[in-house]
């Protein structure tokens, strides 16, 4: 067998999984890096900008307090105001030193705040002098105010960058999620469709094979293990078709070769039985009758084998014509009445009052009815009844044959329609070659109908088949 080309199923699954892992890993790595960066920016805003802003605000509060106390002293000459000025300047210096230790980058910008300074407190001589701010304090507040403004601008820029970074991370995360879902769901659907398409072909071939139909090749839709399975199935199907043709040819040849000597045997038995060659006593007549019955049974078996052979070679010719369905049932009952009486089985028909006409080949449909009713008689116990029912709706006529025989197990019901199959429990107790139901179903399906079986062990069996009322083109199987 040729080696399968292309990627196998494991490689396809691995590639698909790797694509998902790469997208997920890339998205996760970017988000982690972005989160780390945003955390650093947030930490800087809190530890630097917010801390410097708070320190400047406190230093400005001290300087404003100093300015207020200087004006108070100039206005009323209060010594308590002088004490407050000293305390505020001392606290201002402490805050300044502490802030420069934490943030030495402001040392150059705040150099003037660390230099020696002198504040002269003298009562104001003119009314306007009491409101004039101290030059040193004014210079310091301007320096701190400028620093506060710059720090607020820097904080605002950092917050804007943080916002843009978060929005960008959210977009990347969303795109990564969409891509992951697309690869996950889309890849799963494509892979499932690919696998299911190849499996459906093999499943169709196996279903046709299991139903006893013509074994057909399946399409090879991939180069992986499923494609290799399809090629193996086609190779098996080819061998089965060749073996089936050989068996059909052998059966046809054997049936043809046996028919001539069998006819001669039947004619010889009839000739001897008629007394043309001499008087026949009672014992000889009994054995001649047995030989005649067996030759008839052998002829019937050959006829069935020939029918199967013709169907397999597409030689089942139908001649559809309008046919009275009730007449088909009545005719079949009349032909099988002697057989039923011999086995002490009653026949019952349930026919509709209104006439039912369908388009079919009456001879072939009659053969189906004879087979189903004959099986019902064969498998029903003495004193039981085989019921034949005819139903009709707007599109089809339904024939139902019910018996009170041993019934058929669920796992055996589909197999009984296969050629040469016989239920294991009946192989040695009931005569037959396992061809009747296979022939019957092929005839029904050739008319465009379908055959069904409803049975339970110990409760009898009901075989039914439908025929279209308006007829249907005969269905032909292509090998």
User: What gap in Å lies between CA 459 and CA 363, rounded to an integer?
Assistant: 31
Looking at the structure, tell me whether residues 182 and 246 fall in a common domain: no
Looking at the structure, tell me whether residues 273 and 155 fall in a common domain: no
User: What gap in Å lies between CA 469 and CA 322, rounded to an integer?
Assistant: 9
**What's the count of helices (H) and strands (E) in the chain, helices before strands?**
11, 7
Question: Residue 126: is its pLDDT beyond 60?
Answer: no
pLDDT band at 396, cuts 50/70/90? confident
Looking at the structure, tell me whether residues 305 and 343 fall in a common domain: no
Question: In this structure, is residue 436 part of a structural domain?
Answer: yes
Question: Residue 253: is its pLDDT beyond 50?
Answer: yes
User: What gap in Å lies between CA 354 and CA 324, rounded to an integer?
Assistant: 11
Looking at the structure, tell me whether residues 452 and 390 fall in a common domain: yes
Question: In this structure, is residue 428 part of a structural domain?
Answer: yes
CB 292 within 8 A of CB 265: no
pLDDT digits (tens, 9 = 90+) for 418-457: 766 666 555 444 555 567 788 788 888 888 888 888 888 8
Map residue 61 onto helix, strand or coil.
helix
| pLDDT average, residue stretch 83-112 | 86
Residue where one domain finishes, among candidates 313, 345, 377: 313
**C-alpha Rg value of the chain to the nearest Å:** 53
Nearest to 299 by CA among 332, 339, 258, 269: 258
Looking at the structure, tell me whether residues 242 and 129 fall in a common domain: no
Map residue 465 onto helix, strand or coil.
strand
CATH for 304: 1.10.287
User: What gap in Å lies between CA 391 and CA 465, rounded to an integer?
Assistant: 10
Looking at the structure, tell me whether residues 307 and 329 fall in a common domain: no
Question: In this structure, is residue 204 part of a structural domain?
Answer: no
Question: In this structure, is residue 477 part of a structural domain?
Answer: no
| pLDDT average, residue stretch 335-361 | 87
pLDDT digits (tens, 9 = 90+) for 160-177: 888 888 888 888 888 888
* Number of domains the chain contains: 3
Question: In this structure, is residue 209 part of a structural domain?
Answer: no
Looking at the structure, tell me whether residues 278 and 326 fall in a common domain: no
Looking at the structure, tell me whether residues 279 and 400 fall in a common domain: no
Question: In this structure, is residue 3 part of a structural domain?
Answer: no
Distance of CA 24 to the CA centre of its chain: 26
> For residue 78, what pLDDT is reported?
73
Looking at the structure, tell me whether residues 177 and 235 fall in a common domain: no
Q: Could you identify the residue written with the tokens 């300074």?
A: 117
User: What gap in Å lies between CA 447 and CA 468, rounded to an integer?
Assistant: 8
260 burial (CB, 10 Å; 0-12 / 13-18 / 19+) is exposed
> For residue 4, what pLDDT is reported?
42
pLDDT band at 475, cuts 50/70/90? very low
User: What gap in Å lies between CA 212 and CA 419, rounded to an integer?
Assistant: 7
pLDDT band at 474, cuts 50/70/90? very low
Looking at the structure, tell me whether residues 395 and 295 fall in a common domain: no
User: What gap in Å lies between CA 40 and CA 289, rounded to an integer?
Assistant: 111
> For residue 400, what pLDDT is reported?
92
Nearest to 320 by CA among 440, 472, 464: 472
Mean of the per-residue pLDDT values of the chain: 79
| pLDDT average, residue stretch 315-339 | 84
Question: Residue 364: is its pLDDT beyond 70?
Answer: yes
Question: Residue 195: is its pLDDT beyond 90?
Answer: no
User: What gap in Å lies between CA 434 and CA 418, rounded to an integer?
Assistant: 8
pLDDT digits (tens, 9 = 90+) for 5-43: 566 777 777 887 888 888 888 888 888 888 888 888 888
Question: In this structure, is residue 253 part of a structural domain?
Answer: yes
Distance of CA 137 to the CA centre of its chain: 82
Q: In this structure, what DSSP letter does residue 215 have? A: -
Q: Could you identify the residue written with the tokens 């296979």?
A: 438
Helix (H) or strand (E) holding 199: helix 187-210
CATH for 328: 3.30.565.10
Residue where one domain finishes, among candidates 285, 313, 341: 313
Looking at the structure, tell me whether residues 65 and 153 fall in a common domain: yes
Contacts of 168-174 with CB under 8 Å at 24 or more apart are: 168/34, 169/30, 169/31, 169/34, 169/35, 169/38, 172/27, 172/30, 172/31, 172/34, 173/27, 173/31
The maximal CA–CA distance of the chain, rounded, in angstroms, is 178
Calculate what percentage of the chain has a pLDDT beyond 90: 5
CB 324 within 8 A of CB 357: yes
Residue where one domain finishes, among candidates 313, 342, 367: 313
Question: In this structure, is residue 214 part of a structural domain?
Answer: no
Nearest to 184 by CA among 21, 7, 11: 21
Looking at the structure, tell me whether residues 152 and 248 fall in a common domain: no
Tokens describing residue 473: 């083109």
pLDDT digits (tens, 9 = 90+) for 239-249: 877 877 777 67
Question: Residue 96: is its pLDDT beyond 80?
Answer: yes
pLDDT digits (tens, 9 = 90+) for 366-375: 888 988 998 8
Question: Domain range spanning residue 295?
Answer: 225-313
């Amino acid at each position: 067998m040729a080696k399968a080309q292309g990627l196998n199923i494991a490689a396809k699954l691995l590639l698909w999984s790797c694509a998902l892992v790469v997208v997920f890993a890339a998205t996760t790595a970017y988000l982690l890096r972005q989160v780390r960066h945003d955390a650093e920016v947030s930490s800087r805003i809190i530890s630097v900008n917010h801390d410097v802003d708070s320190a400047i605000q406190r230093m400005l509060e001290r300087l404003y307090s100093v300015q207020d106390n200087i004006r108070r002293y100039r206005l009323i000459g209060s010594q308590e105001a002088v004490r407050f000025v000293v305390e505020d300047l001392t606290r201002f210096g402490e805050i300044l030193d502490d802030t420069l230790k934490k943030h030495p980058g402001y040392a150059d910008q705040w150099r003037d705040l660390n230099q020696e300074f002198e504040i002269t407190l003298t009562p104001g001589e003119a009314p306007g002098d009491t409101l004039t701010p101290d030059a040193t304090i004014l210079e310091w507040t301007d320096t701190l105010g400028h620093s506060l403004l710059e720090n607020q601008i820097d904080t605002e820029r950092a917050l804007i960058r943080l916002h843009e970074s978060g929005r960008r991370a959210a977009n990347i995360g969303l795109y990564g999620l969409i891509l992951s879902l697309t690869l996950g769901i889309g890849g799963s659907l494509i892979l499932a469709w690919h696998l299911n398409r190849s499996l459906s072909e093999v499943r169709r071939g196996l279903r046709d094979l299991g139903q006893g139909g013509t074994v057909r090749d399946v399409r090879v839709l991939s180069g992986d293990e499923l494609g290799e399975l399809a090629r193996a199935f086609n190779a098996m199907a080819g061998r089965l078709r060749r073996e089936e043709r050989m068996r059909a040819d052998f059966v046809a040849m054997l049936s043809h070769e046996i028919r001539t000597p069998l006819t001669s045997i039947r004619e010889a038995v009839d000739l001897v039985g008629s007394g043309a060659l001499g008087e026949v006593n009672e014992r000889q007549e009994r054995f001649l009758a047995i030989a005649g019955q067996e030759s008839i049974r052998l002829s019937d078996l050959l006829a069935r084998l020939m029918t199967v052979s013709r169907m397999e070679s597409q030689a089942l010719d139908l001649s559809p014509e309008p046919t009275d369905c009730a007449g088909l049932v009545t005719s079949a009952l009349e032909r099988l009445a002697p057989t039923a009486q011999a086995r002490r089985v009653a026949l019952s028909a349930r026919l509709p009052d209104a006439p039912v006409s369908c388009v079919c080949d009456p001879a072939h449909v009659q053969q189906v009815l004879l087979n189903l009713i004959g099986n019902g008689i064969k498998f029903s116990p003495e004193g039981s009844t085989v019921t034949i029912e005819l139903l009709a709706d707007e599109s089809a006529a339904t024939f139902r044959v019910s018996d009170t025989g041993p019934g058929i197990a669920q796992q055996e019901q589909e197999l009984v329609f296969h050629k040469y199959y016989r239920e294991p429990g009946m192989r040695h107790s009931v005569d037959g070659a396992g061809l009747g139901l296979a022939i019957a179903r092929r005839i029904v399906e050739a008319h465009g109908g379908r055959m069904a079986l409803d049975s339970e062990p110990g409760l009898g069996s009901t075989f039914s088949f439908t025929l279209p009322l308006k007829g249907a083109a005969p269905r032909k199987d292509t090998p």
